[in-house]
């Protein structure tokens, strides 16, 4: 069954689109954290970013940079949080890869910093395990 994002992209559900192209779309979040909260969504339906087609992944950086710049200009934000919940254990609610772009200002009272709870871990050992899996 298509994700809610695929249904928005197909026009079955309304969306406040900022742009659409053959690989990516961007539309405003229906439950925004801040005015201008944007979702950058690939047309390809894959739950995880790593599973997206190569051509889609290759264009992500350009669209991310352009979206951040547009949000800042449109909202007057001085910063933007880019959030990816890559899987349900990370808080992903829609099983379709996407990025949240949340405009920020100095006085917005939003908190996105996570407290460090993994103190005392062997950083070199973890880095070695991740490096061994790098492809």
pLDDT score at 20: 97
How far apart are the C-alpha atoms of 42 and 3, rounded to whole Å? Answer: 12
Q: Residues 60, 41: contact at Cβ < 8 Å?
A: no
> 88: pLDDT confidence band, cut at 50, 70 and 90?
very high
pLDDT score at 113: 77
pLDDT score at 50: 97
The CA-to-CA distance between both ends of the chain, in Å, stands at 31
pTM, to two decimals: 0.92
Whole-number average pLDDT of the chain = 95
Residue 120: how many CA atoms within 13 Å on its side-chain side?
1
What are the residue boundaries of the structural domains of the chain, listed by start? Answer: 4-107
- Residues carrying an active site annotation: 98
pLDDT in tens, 103-124: 999 999 888 777 788 888 998 9
User: Considering only the top CATH level, what class is 4-107?
Assistant: alpha beta
């Amino acid at each position: 069954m298509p994700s809610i994002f695929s249904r928005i992209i197909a026009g079955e559900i309304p969306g406040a689109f900022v742009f659409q192209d053959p690989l990516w779309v961007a539309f405003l979040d229906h439950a925004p954290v801040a005015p201008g909260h944007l979702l950058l969504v690939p047309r390809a339906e894959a739950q995880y970013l790593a599973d997206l087609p190569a051509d889609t992944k290759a264009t992500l950086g350009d669209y991310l940079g352009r979206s951040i710049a547009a949000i800042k200009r449109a909202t007057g934000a001085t910063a933007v949080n880019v959030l990816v919940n890559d899987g349900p254990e990370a808080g992903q609610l829609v099983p379709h890869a996407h990025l949240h772009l949340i405009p920020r200002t100095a006085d917005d009272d939003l908190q996105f910093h996570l407290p460090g709870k993994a103190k005392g871990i062997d950083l070199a050992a973890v880095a070695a395990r991740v490096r061994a899996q790098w492809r």
